[in-house]
Amino acid sequence: MIEQAVLPSNLPYIRFFLIHPFSILGMNRVVRFLAFILCIGSLGFNGCQESSDLLQAPSSDESTPHSPEDWMYRQRAYPHGRIRKDIYLQAMHQWQALRNARSGGQQDWEPVGPLAIGGRITSLAVDPTDDQTIFIGAASGGVFKTTNGGQNWSPVFDGAASLSIGDLALAPSDPQIIYVGTGEANAGGGSLAYDGAGIYKSTDGGTNWTPLGLENSGSTGKMIVHPQNPDRVYVATMGELFANNSERGLYRTINGGQSWEQVLYISDSTGVIDLAIHPDQLDILFAASWERIRRPNRRQYGGTTSAIYRSNDGGDSWQQLSLPIAPNRRLGRIGLAISPVNPNRIYASVVDGDNDLLLGIYRSDNLGQSWTDLPLDGISQVPFMWWFGKIYADPVDADRVYICGLEVEQYRLGDEQWETIMRGSHVDQHVLYIEPDNASYLLLGNDGGLYRGTGDFTTTWTHFDNLPITQFYTAEIDFQQPSRLFGGTQDNGSLRRRTDSGQWEQILGGDGFVNLVDPSDPRFVYAESQYGNFRRSTSGGNQFSNGTPIESLSENRNWKTPVILDPNTPSTLYYGAQRVFRSTDRAVNWQAISPILANTPPGSNLVYGSITSLAVSPANSSVLYAGTDEGSLFLTTNDGNDWEPIDQNLPGRWITSISAHPTDQRVAYVTFSGYRWNDYLPHVFRTDDQGQTWTDISAGLPEVPVNDIVIRPDRPEELFLATDAGVFRSEDEGLSWSVLGQSLPKVVVNDLVYHQPTQTLVAGTYGRSMYQITIEDSPLAVDQQVRGLIQSARAFPNPFREQSRIRIVLEKAENLNVGIYQLDGRLVQTLHEGQLAAGVHEFSFRAGGSGSYICRIIGRESRATLLLSRL
């Protein structure tokens, strides 16, 4: 979430609206309200402007059912409403096996940033013997480590089954021992497509990791390692987010994770979110439970079983403590902190379970036997205080306490109100570290990354500009300046990479989605925020004005609304809501060209009922495809005058992308999200007849959602897939697939874009920023000794395992002999003999054994020779 304007601190609700408008007013009222605000802007701002930079675009609202975790989760869980954990883990193991089987080579991915933009930090830990050694946990990017105070960072957790981090903890008695709890517990935000995959342990400072179980515990709220015994660990777990399950509560191990005991269990909808341990009496523990129910169409973030518990015997038994709150009051998230200076003093922050505001902040000076209210005046209240939920006691001053919220605020006993003390950082604070022996050493993790502060908390914070943990929804390349990249991100808007410095900058706020650059004129740049709020720029992205179809405002629009350029006429754009809209003047004017194609099915767990993907055939602009979130697929072959459904025998899942063949208007590919429940679920299909029939080409892929497909324009038999388990490549139109590259982490890849002149493929990842790779052709894949009427001749795949296909493109009709020979000249097989018409022809060859072969193509005027290799 991005703070859009500096507003008076005593107007938190106005400020909240600019950041989270949808939770207050809803979609249509937000549009009208924003128009009203813009019209009266001269009263409180600097007048109205054509550019949308005044308010920019609204950011995400974690408290509405249309929030990003719904978008990520719904498409993967549709239509069952849940993702089976065993199916997900099985798919991750399948991906690992495929990557291990890949042969090495020089071709690999390189990160291209951004580093300075940041992303959501959920946890951090500092080595108690060396404050220059820091570990951070990212919402969906894994764990990073620095040994020089943040000058350099290295990912140390990429081999784990989940890169979503809930908490991490170093053993105070041996900081080489590290425990990581996977699964973000904040219960909002865009990373929550998946729960975590349990607990991990390292005994060598993060070099190697061992899984310790608790795979079904969902998310990790807090971990505490016993100060004197590194084998004794307490883990607070919240369970699965979108389902009730009994594997939640507080777990304890006394043997370093070899076995676990559930020592506090409340219910299958109530987990434990926070923990605190007495620094002197190590058997005294405090635990905060949180009743939390989430469904694709329902959220209840509070209940009567949210409470504070105390144990006096190391977790063997527990007593519920009484707060000065009316009985049976529905409580939300609770944060805990014990004063290191006065360990009998404990602070608790409590969110109201009915309105999601802070209900109270309480202090106990007798280990929770009785409590005193602290004032709430001065706190920037927003109706999603559960998104933060952390409270911290000062390590030196027992009378001073801090809370993480929209900002970081402090209170000292006797003050009349709280004071915002840490300005200059991104909003939405999640974790704070104050060094016990050096109060001037401060670290802050929030939705925008990691910050360091010094002194008395009033100084401006310094952002660590070297952590690649940005969550991308989309990627784009400027065709004329391919080093100038664009992308839409969660929390950090639409970004642009500068060609002079390689640095990234924000060009539009909110949550960023579609970014487009006109390949014929890069002055025309388009950027989108959530729900199809589309902007156009005539200055390369320096200023923007509105480009949203007015008629679409009354229709369902997806969190990520599809917008595309016509590849033949880039001044023409297409926009998908419930109908398809077309603009022929670069998004100035729009016209609907389809009937309603998408609706929410009755009884469905979908909330969108909208178009999710569009594609125009590069071979014929009159051919246009549109796919929806409930799996419907439509085709027009006459510029939108008529539409027909072409989804017969397709799986009926959320359509994530459509790609049309660059030269053959009959051929297209479609990809799907979702996980199987029991039976096999294909995710990639090809049609050779404009959707009359479809062929499943998913064989060999892990059973994970496929988010995008790209056809290589100059070699259309070569395909690239963006999946929830990295990127895959096929060189034979999907007959076989392989993991592309070795260095891309096991992270969700949402989008791919290919730049043909430089043979560069760019991947937008969800949690590890952006990567690119140069696609190198195998020497065996290049045309060899081609002349005459043969325009091109190729064998693919090559090298091959069982079967290779020979593709010949003829300029004119020719009488050809196509034969396969051994290297000594002996004929192996005649593939064709006779007349062939002008155009494309393919022949299949199955080799009986490994080795090299020669394909000779001979005609009256034509010759071609190809070298084939069977593995």
Nearest one of 686, 683, 550, 560 to 614, comparing CA atoms = 560
Task: Give how far Cα 358 sits from Cα of 383, 388, 402, 587, Å.
Answer: 8, 11, 14, 44
Residue 369 pLDDT > 90: yes
* Domain range list for the chain: 272-391, 780-870
- Do the Cβ atoms of 213 and 199 come closer than 8 Å? yes
- Digit-coded pLDDT (tens) for 293-319: 887 667 889 999 999 999 999 999 999
Best mean pLDDT range from 81-90, 265-274, 728-737 = 265-274
Q: How many CB atoms lie within 10 A of CB 100?
A: 9
Residues whose CB falls within 8 Å of the CB of residue 641, separated by 6 or more in sequence, listed in order: 593
Question: Tokens in use for 661?
Answer: 């063949």
| 250-260 confidence digits (pLDDT tens) | 999 999 999 99
pLDDT at 143: 98
DSSP class of 562: -
179-200: b (≥16 Cβ within 10 Å) or e: bbbbbbbbbbbbbbbbbbbbbb
Question: Around Cβ 779, how many Cβ atoms within 10 Å?
Answer: 10
The whole-angstrom separation of Cα 834 and Cα 853 is: 22
Q: 33 — phi, psi (to 5°)?
A: -70, -40
Residue type, 354: D
Read off the pLDDT of each residue in 148-173 and give the average, rounded to a whole number: 95
Question: Which of 284-288, 382-386, 671-675, 801-805 has the least mean pLDDT?
Answer: 801-805
pLDDT of 58 higher than 50: no
Task: Evaluate whether 403 touches 379 at the Cβ level (below 8 Å).
Answer: yes
| Long-range residue pairs from 224-227, CB within 8 A, at least 24 positions apart, any chain | 224/169, 224/275, 224/276, 224/277, 224/285, 225/169, 225/170, 225/171, 225/172, 225/177, 225/179, 226/277, 226/282, 227/172, 227/173, 227/277, 227/279, 227/282
Please tell me the predicted confidence (pLDDT) of residue 96. Answer: 80
- The pLDDT of 277-288, averaged and rounded, is 98
- 848 vs 415, residue with greater confidence: 415
620: nearest Cα among 586, 584, 663, 658: 663
Q: Which DSSP category does 104 fall into? A: P
Q: Which residue reads 């008695």 in tokens?
A: 173
What are 194-221's pLDDT values in tens digits? Answer: 889 999 999 999 999 999 999 999 999 9
Structure tokens at 46: 């600097």
Contact between residue 554 and residue 540 where contact means Cβ atoms under 8 Å apart: no
State mean pLDDT over 453-465. Answer: 75
Q: Give pTM, 2 decimals.
A: 0.84
Q: Has residue 16 got a pLDDT over 50?
A: no
Where residue 824 falls among pLDDT bands split at 50, 70, 90?
confident
Question: How far apart (Å, rounded) are the C-alpha atoms in residues 724 and 708?
Answer: 10
| Bigger pLDDT: 456 vs 859 | 859
Confidence of residue 603 (pLDDT cuts 50, 70, 90): low
β-pair type (749-755, 760-765): antiparallel
CA–CA distance, 78 with 656 (Å, rounded to integer): 13
Please determine, for residue 37, whether its predicted confidence score (pLDDT) is greater than 50. Answer: no
Residues in the chain: 871
The percent of residues above 90 in pLDDT, for the chain, comes to 67
Q: How many CB atoms lie within 10 A of CB 24?
A: 16
Q: 588 pLDDT exceeds 70?
A: yes
CA distance 194 to 638: 41
Question: Among 22-26, 218-222, 294-298, 793-797, which stretch is predicted with the lowest mean pLDDT?
Answer: 22-26
Model confidence pLDDT, tens digit, residues 87-115:
888 888 888 888 777 655 557 999 999 99
382 has pLDDT over 80:
yes
Query: pLDDT tens digit string along 336-351?
Result: 999 999 999 999 999 9
Higher pLDDT, 59 or 550: 550
pLDDT value of residue 457: 61
Peptide bond into 395 cis (omega under 30): no
The tokens of 592 are what? 């609907």
pLDDT band at 785 (very low <50, low <70, confident <90, very high): low
- pLDDT at residue 327, as a whole number: 87
The pLDDT value recorded for residue 780 is: 57
**Token pair recorded at residue 739:** 């993991």
Residue 591 identity: Q
CA 578 remoteness from chain centre: 25
User: What is the distance between the terminal CA atoms of the chain, rounded to a whole angstrom?
Assistant: 51
Listed range (68-72, 330-334, 595-599, 759-763) with the worst mean pLDDT: 68-72
Residue 47 has pLDDT above 50, yes or no: no
pLDDT of residue 255: 98
What are 490's two structure tokens? 């969660």
Could you identify the residue written with the tokens 């602070």?
347
Instruction: Render pLDDT for 678-718 as a digit per residue (tens, 0 to 9).
Output: 778 889 999 999 999 999 999 989 989 999 999 999 889 89
Neighbours of 834 (CB within 10 A): 8
Which range has the worst mean pLDDT, 167-176, 238-247, 459-468?
459-468
Average pLDDT, the chain: 87
What is the reported pLDDT for 362?
98
In the DSSP assignment, the letter for residue 500 is T
Distance of CA 640 to the CA centre of its chain: 33
d(CA 224, CA 142): 19
Q: What share of the chain is helix, strand, coil (3-state, %, to 5)?
A: 10, 40, 50
Confidence at 783, pLDDT banded by 50, 70, 90: low
Structural contact between residues 173 and 227, judged by C-beta atoms closer than 8 angstroms: yes
Query: What backbone phi and psi angles, to 5 degrees, belong to 617?
Result: -70, 125
Position 60: which residue type? S
Q: Is the pLDDT of residue 275 over 60?
A: yes
The answer to whether domain 780-870 has CATH 2.60.40.1930 is yes
Q: State the DSSP code for 41.
A: H
Give the tens place of pLDDT for each residue, 556-585: 999 999 999 999 999 999 999 999 999 999
What per-residue confidence (pLDDT) applies to 499? 87
Identify which of 192, 760, 792 has the alpha carbon closest to the alpha carbon of residue 471. 192
- In this predicted structure, what is the pLDDT of residue 3? 29
